[in-house]
Amino acid sequence: MSSGWFLLFLLITVTYVNAKFDYSLAKAFLKMKYCTMATYFHCSAKKEIMKQFLTDDIRVSVHEVTNRTFSIQTVLEKQHYHIGVIIDGDCPSLEPFFIECANRKFFFETYHWLVFGSNDSVVNTFENVGLCINADVSLVIPNYSTWTIFDIYNPSQKRGGHLKVEEVGFYNEEEGYNSKFVWNRYYKRRNMTGTTFKAAMVSIINSWGYVQPDGDVDGLVGKLKYDELDFGIAALLYKLFRLKVIDYGYGNWVMKSVFLFRHPKSTSSSSELYFRPLSGSVWMATLIALVLITIILRFIVSNEVKLLEGEEESANLGESSWSFLIIYNIGELCQQGFSYIPIFSSGRIVVLDVLLFFFLIYQFYAASIVSFLLLPPKKTITTISDLLKSTLQVGMEDILYDIDYIKTTTDPVAIALYQQKIKQPHNKTNFLSPHDGLERVKAGGFAFHTQTSTSYPIVEFGFEEKAICELAEVQLYKPLYAHMALSKKSPLREIFMYCNVYQMEVGILQRLRMHWDARKPQCVDYTPYLEVEVGLDESYWALGLLGTGIMLSLLILLLERAWKQWGANFFTKERLASYILKKGSK
């Protein structure tokens, strides 16, 4: 009788020390988690277990957890996205093993833990383990012919969170693995039960997360690198050096930066303005027509002079010199009237054709220039290359990410823009504060690069309606998404991603962006107050042409007077004859 009780006690002890292992349950768990690679920790496992896994194409490594001769880092650190970890929860002294795994971040979402236990006392093993909100730990306890499944996690053990254990399902041979939640784990865990996390906001100073001369990073990124914070409240841009020390969450803020400037009325030179109404071929055809008309009129006028010489009508005949006919045709072209009326019908037909031809050319030419002055200016500066070629001065906001962009960009146009327009003599630059830069934009002739969220409120309340309507934008780089910053391998990354994506789907993020982001100032039609101004920019070429003509006429006048006074007496026939004889005698 005593030996029977001893055998019963021994059986109970063995069952307690070595939890029952169900291969079909483990296989169903790994299949549900999409794990093709697993690690099995045991106290005394049989080799048949490993053979069963290999038969089902599941690569598994088996290790004894009580007398460890292996490195946890070497065994569990793998490059697969879904890694299964199966462990006998009744093995002795598991708490130090679990604590080390938590410290090395092997309880994160990549690792799917299945803990076999003989009763719920296994839960006590996790009380001091640094579990987090992203832990995927399933405890299975036998209950007659089924297994009860418990979900174990902690909002944040290092921030004072409390261990959470919840029954989530069951397993049996007939119905398989049944869990209340598979994909909405974070929705079930959304209640953090008052856990306090550490976060930080960016203070706008010289640097808040950039590489320093000693090779380390400063500011918010530095705090996250050394786990002094859980996450940053300020969103950060993607930078390669930051990816090595922190993780990024969802891109929840769109940062749009543009060059703002009052678009010039015309980016063409004054000469282009006067030549543009007619194409090159039309100018050439007009010139050829002018030459032909001059030759024809020369022939007609000369013929009339010969035929009517000595008659009464000869008093009304025109001059047949080339200079007179050229000036006459230019006067016709410019609609200055005509001083010569041919006598014969052939001449009058030619003059009539000349008047009609030059009238049509002049009307089209003049109407094109007037319409250019009346119509709203065409937006011709639409790219950085156009801005570089324009006469506008250029500046940028004195903020770190713009300065860093100029230092690190490989865009040749952006580099040329900095070298030619932003960089100033004596090692000065046009990096200005938003208010100073936009004041220069308001005055005109200046393009300033800044964030739209910064510039739009200043423009809306500080610019006149006309200035707002003349504003144009050119992007130096595409709009960037600023992302939430978290410490490397942060357990909060997935839950924040889940929450942000959900907020985006239901429209909350868009509503917040519309609330916090500045709206673009609207141009109310100011056509009734349109001022048509013709400044020196449009007319200096015509004034230059007039000045050149005046100077040339004065020069010719001086030459004519000099010739009249000295040249006629010096170059007499006698002097020319004697000069030729002297040359011939030599």
Tens digit of each residue's pLDDT (9 = 90 or more) over 195-217: 888 898 877 666 667 778 887 88
DSSP of 460-523, one letter per residue? HHHS-HHHHHTEEEE-SS--EEEEEEEETT-TTHHHHHHHHHHHHHHTHHHHHHHHHSPPPPP-
Q: Report the SS3 class of residue 246.
A: strand
Q: What is the pLDDT of residue 207?
A: 67
Give residue-wise pLDDT tens across range 105-123. Answer: 899 888 999 999 988 889 9
Q: Which residues contact 260 (CB under 8 A, 6 or more apart)?
A: 438, 441, 447, 448, 449, 450, 455, 459, 471, 472, 473
> Does pLDDT of 321 surpass 80?
no
Give SS3 for 303: helix
CA-based angle 40:46:49, to the nearest 5?
Answer: 55
Confidence of residue 288 (pLDDT cuts 50, 70, 90): confident
For the chain, where do the domains classified as CATH 1.10.287 start and end? 270-374
Pair of tokens at residue 338: 């005509």
Q: Could you tell me if 249 and 509 are in contact, meaning their C-beta atoms sit under 8 angstroms apart?
A: no
Quick check: 218 and 212 in contact, CB under 8 A? yes
3-state DSSP call for residue 540? helix
Q: Which residue has the tokens 């010569």?
A: 340
Q: What is the pTM of this model?
A: 0.67
Contact assessment for residue 263 and residue 441, using Cβ atoms and an 8 Å cutoff: no
Question: Which residues are CB-neighbours of 50 under 8 A, at least 6 positions away?
Answer: 40, 60, 62
Tokens standing for residue 472: 């144009």
Mean pLDDT of 558-584: 65
For residues 521 and 260, give the distance between their C-alpha atoms in angstroms, rounded to a whole number.
Answer: 12
The sheet carrying 471-474 orders its strands as 431-432, 393-397, 446-451, 257-262, 471-474
Residue 347: CA count within 13 A, CB half-sphere: 17
Tell me the one-letter amino acid at 192.
M
d(C-alpha 379, C-alpha 2), whole Å: 103
- C-beta separation of 497 from 484 below 8 A: no
Q: What percent of the chain has pLDDT above 90? A: 26
The secondary structure of residue 178, as a DSSP letter, is E
Q: Does domain 270-374 have CATH number 1.10.3470?
A: no
252: amino acid identity, one letter: N
Strand, helix or coil for residue 543: helix
Angle between the 280-307 and 322-333 helix axes, to the nearest 10 degrees? 130
Token pair for residue 125? 């093993």
Q: Any idea what the Cα angle at residue 330 is, between residues 324 and 335, rounded to 5°?
A: 125
Q: How far is residue 461's CA from residue 464's CA, in Å, rounded to a whole number? A: 8
Q: What is the mean pLDDT of residues 59-72?
A: 86
What pLDDT is attached to residue 17? 45
What is the per-residue DSSP string for 317-337? PPP--HHHHHHHHHHHHTT--
Least confident stretch, 73-87, 334-348, 446-460, 465-479? 334-348
What would the mean pLDDT of 558-565 be, rounded to a whole number?
79
Provide the 8-state DSSP code for 424.
E
Q: What are the tokens at 54?
A: 């290999």
Calculate mean pLDDT across residues 361-372. Answer: 78
Strands (E), 31-89: 37-42, 59-64, 83-88
pLDDT-derived band at 527, boundaries 50, 70, 90: low
3-state percent breakdown (helix, strand, coil) of the chain, nearest 5 = 50, 20, 35
Angstrom distance (rounded) from CA 110 to CA 91: 24
Q: Cα–Cα distances in Å, from 76 out to 17, 54, 329, 487?
A: 24, 19, 96, 21
Convert 85-142 into a string of H (helix), E (strand) and C (coil).
EEEECCCCCHHHHHHHHHHCCCCCCCEEEEEECCCHHHHHHHCCCCCECCCEEEEEEE
Residue 12 has pLDDT above 60, yes or no: no
Asked if 113 and 152 touch (Cβ cutoff 8 Å), the reply is no
pLDDT in tens, 121-177: 899 999 999 999 999 999 999 988 899 999 999 999 888 889 999 999 999 988 889
Residues 6+ apart with CB under 8 A from 198: 159, 228, 229, 230
Residue 540, both tokens: 């200096």
The pLDDT of residue 4: 47
Pairing of strands 231-232, 199-200: parallel
Q: What is the pLDDT of residue 531?
A: 61
* CA 552/CA 558 separation, integer angstroms: 10
Domain with CATH 3.40.50.2300 in the chain: 2-184
What's the confidence (pLDDT) of residue 55? 80
Domain spanning 2-184, CATH class: alpha beta
Query: Is there a contact between 257 and 451 (Cβ–Cβ < 8 Å)?
Result: yes
**Given this model, what pLDDT does residue 236 score?**
86
Give dist(CA 399, CA 207) in Å, integer.
Answer: 9
In the three-class reduction of DSSP (H, G, I as helix; E, B as strand; rest coil), residue 199 is classed as strand
**What pLDDT sits at residue 147?**
94
pLDDT band at 53 (very low <50, low <70, confident <90, very high): confident
